Amino acid sequence: MSAESNIASSKVLALHPDRLFAADPLQRDIARRLYARIKDLPIVSPHGHTDPRWFADNQNWDNATSLLLLPDHYVFRMLYSQGITLEQLGIRRRDGVAVETDYRKIFHIFAAHYHLFRGTPSRMWLDSVFHDVFGLRESLSPATADLYYDHINAALATEAFKPRALLDRFNIEVIATTEGALNDLKHHAKLKGTGFEKRVITTFRPDDVVDADRADFAANVQKLGEITGQDTSHWQGYLQALRIRRAFFRDHGATATDHGHPTANTADLPLAEAEALFARCLQGASAADAELFRGQMLTEMAGMSLEDGMTMQIHPGAHRNHNAVIFERFGPDKGADIPSPTEYVQALKPLLQKYGNEASLNIILFTLDETTYARELAPLAGHYPALKLGPAWWFHDSPEGMLRFRHQVTETAGFYNTCGFNDDTRAFLSIPARHDVARRIDCRFLAQLVAEHRLNEDEAHELAYDLTYRLAKQAYQL
């Protein structure tokens, strides 16, 4: 064992009560007061990627590795960047080639490289999970790996760690999962009558039937027609089939849609041009046609949201599956998605010219391009009634990222053209930690405004409540 490992093995795992607050004593004291009032508010998790099967079946998880490590691309992308193969981490390959199946061994690999996460949000979230959820008081290291693995597995086998029990323990008022347009929602259907159907809801994500770049696009559109009884070989039948699916999702609790496009481009084509574009896409779209079609569909979906009242989320700017080798071997969502520069002012203009002035429409816009906060996004959201800004997202879901967001957006868009926080995660046990980070950072930001006499403390308390709870419920109509 190395000297570093010996030192690490003796460290106490403790979470400082003032973590993430400013070092300045005046601001820290104000932040403490603000946080004390909102820290125990219910969690509203209106956008995420947890597995609805967990809540439908309410079965115990098998082990620490399959719950904490394998679904979390934040974890294995860091390990992969340091030369640890995904096969060593037990990530299944598409071709069926054997990968590591000894979950204890995988956990030991993780523990041996836990130092890689120093200074990252993942380290903060994981330490919170180990400390607050599992009650561990020694830091993770090679020396404590077995202690961690056995302790966590023993806890996971108990009634207190079943998914629905944890919903109650974490004080999660509502959590939204995300499913593709063709999903049968059988797990959400199973929740009906349990009392959890309004706490675990779905979100409609139609990328599988609107992204003509996908190899399975035409087959998916055909299946869409089969399950809705519509002729989706024609434009109007296709649009009607989407309306039917949206209604099906609403019947399973959905209040929002989600659109993960490469860019923010929108379009508003004349009917004949839209029909011709759709026909070309069914035959095999060029890159230009696929991009134009995605843009047209964002505008179509905004119109449908105006009809049925569903909140529309647009998540652009991720270059998906940048590592072609990893995609070919393991498939999507394996840590190889990279942020890209994204333009919004011209890209969104067709949609906003048609629907942006509709106060009854809720469009929540996210970005991975922080350079657009002050220049594009805040001015757009500070003007158009239909547009709100989602929180710092994905790579920027960090203390520094949240602060950058507040500093650059607030001066133009204010607080009330934003939507509180959402955790956007597959890692269920980290949800309380993620929300706690957001609450602490918002209190820190508000404390600075109070200390600089730009806001009185009574207003800061109201804002802390709104940013923690009310704005998310309002934006997602929960």
Average pLDDT over the chain reads 96
pLDDT tier at 8, thresholds 50, 70, 90: very low
pLDDT tens digits for 387-438? 999 999 999 999 999 999 999 999 999 999 999 999 999 999 999 999 999 9
Domain-located, residue 255: yes
Beta carbons within 10 angstroms of residue 194's beta carbon: 13
**429 and 311 both lie in a single domain:** yes
Domain tally, the chain: 2
Above 60 in pLDDT, residue 366?
A: yes
Query: Could you say which of 128, 159, 190 is where a domain stops?
Result: 159
In the prediction, which pLDDT does 78 show? Answer: 97
Domain-located, residue 107: yes
Across residues 195-201, what is the average pLDDT? 96
Domain-located, residue 471: yes
Structural contact between residues 17 and 434, judged by C-beta atoms closer than 8 angstroms: no
**378 and 411 both lie in a single domain:** yes
Please name every residue paired with 45 in a beta bridge, in sequence order, or none if there are none. Answer: 175
Alpha carbon distances (Å) from 423 to 188, 351, 398, 399:
20, 27, 11, 13
Domain-located, residue 10: no
Q: What is the CATH number of the domain that holds 360?
A: 3.20.20.140
Fill in the DSSP letter of residue 408.
H
What percent of the chain clears pLDDT 70, i.e. is strictly above it?
Answer: 98
pLDDT tier at 10, thresholds 50, 70, 90: low
Above 80 in pLDDT, residue 6?
A: no
Domain-located, residue 342: yes
**311 and 213 both lie in a single domain:** yes
**248 and 118 both lie in a single domain:** no
Structure tokens at 312: 């529309």
Query: Could you say which of 131, 159, 187 is where a domain stops?
Result: 159
- Cα 223 to chain centroid distance, Å, stands at 27
Query: Could you say which of 159, 183, 214 is where a domain stops?
Result: 159
In the prediction, which pLDDT does 84 show? Answer: 97
Query: Strand, coil or helix: what is 205?
Result: strand
pLDDT tens digits for 216-259? 999 999 999 999 999 999 999 999 999 999 999 999 999 999 99
Above 90 in pLDDT, residue 3?
A: no
User: Which one, of 312, 402, 318, lies nearest residue 348 by Cα?
Assistant: 312
Across residues 116-126, what is the average pLDDT? 97
**70 and 172 both lie in a single domain:** no
Strand 338-339 vs strand 363-365: parallel, antiparallel, or unpaired?
A: unpaired
User: Which one, of 109, 106, 20, lies nearest residue 65 by Cα?
Assistant: 106
Residue-number span of the structural domain to which 102 is assigned = 61-159
pLDDT tens digits for 213-224? 999 999 999 999
In the prediction, which pLDDT does 25 show? Answer: 98
Domain-located, residue 12: no
DSSP sequence for 330-396: H-S-SS--EE-----TTTSHHHHHHHTT-TT--EEE--S-GGGIIIIIHHHHTT-TTEEEPPS-GGG
**116 and 264 both lie in a single domain:** no
In the prediction, which pLDDT does 402 show? Answer: 98
**140 and 228 both lie in a single domain:** no
Structure tokens at 22: 């400013």
- Cα 260 to chain centroid distance, Å, stands at 11
Across residues 294-300, what is the average pLDDT? 98
Structural contact between residues 19 and 152, judged by C-beta atoms closer than 8 angstroms: no
DSSP sequence for 277-300: HHHHHHHH--HHHHHHHHHHHHHH
In the prediction, which pLDDT does 7 show? Answer: 43
Beta carbons within 10 angstroms of residue 36's beta carbon: 12
pLDDT tens digits for 47-82? 999 999 999 999 999 999 999 999 898 999 999 999
